[in-house]
Structure 1
């Protein structure tokens, strides 16, 4: 079934493990694990050096990822954007975590992801 036709719970059953891996891999600054669910397009725009810089920057200013709370899934014809409220260990307030999932060759892949 097309991801955009699934319920929020079904989308989250796909999105949460992928986002958990992305956050764990960025905490560990593990490039190969971080990009394992990326589309070819997204892999081409994030170098190992850029990921390391991003991770060291957020870890030194905000700390590490804390609680994440689902906000909404935005369904599109070719993708689903999932949005969460995101906390950090050393920075008060809420941030936004978002991920765009696409389906390619029977796999769900990340075509965009950001925490801001």
Structure 2
């Protein structure tokens, strides 16, 4: 898919439900929900054990990730797109950057990078 031909609105139609899955999976400590749209590369970078380690380390300080977020921009790449939002944690004051990098793998849109912090 050539993301550069898509408007921000069209990209958000794809990206928002994927980010919702990531937030919901993180908040419920549900790796299957979190990773349902992961690319093969993301599964290598964030295996279940790493997810559980990160959750154990940071949850007490930050609490849940709030679903509320504000769209900032899309960064178009040679292949794929990175979507940026400002987001919030339940216990951590201030805004954080949420990012999601999407690309195509085997004919499906998959997550190649994701972070909230």
Could you list the per-position Cα deviations for residues 3-48 of structure 1 after superposition, in whole angstroms to 9, with x for gaps in the alignment? 2310000000000000000010111111122111111011012121
In 2, are the aligned partners of 1:27 and 1:55 still within 8 Å (CA)?
Answer: no
Q: TM-score of the superposition, structure 1-length normalised?
A: 0.93
Which residue in 1 is equivalent to 2:14? 14
Matching of residues 1-116 of structure 1 within 5 Å: 2-66=2-66, 67-116=68-117
After superposing on structure 2, the runs of 4+ consecutive aligned residues of structure 1 that deviate more than 4 Å are: none
In terms of fraction of residues, the more strand-rich structure is 1
Distance 1:5 1:77 in 2: 12
Q: TM-score of the superposition, structure 2-length normalised?
A: 0.92
Distance 2:42 2:4 in 1: 20
The aligned length equals 116
Gaps of 5+ in 2: none
Gaps of 5+ in 1: none
Distance 2:33 2:88 in 1: 22
CA RMSD, 1 decimal: 1.2
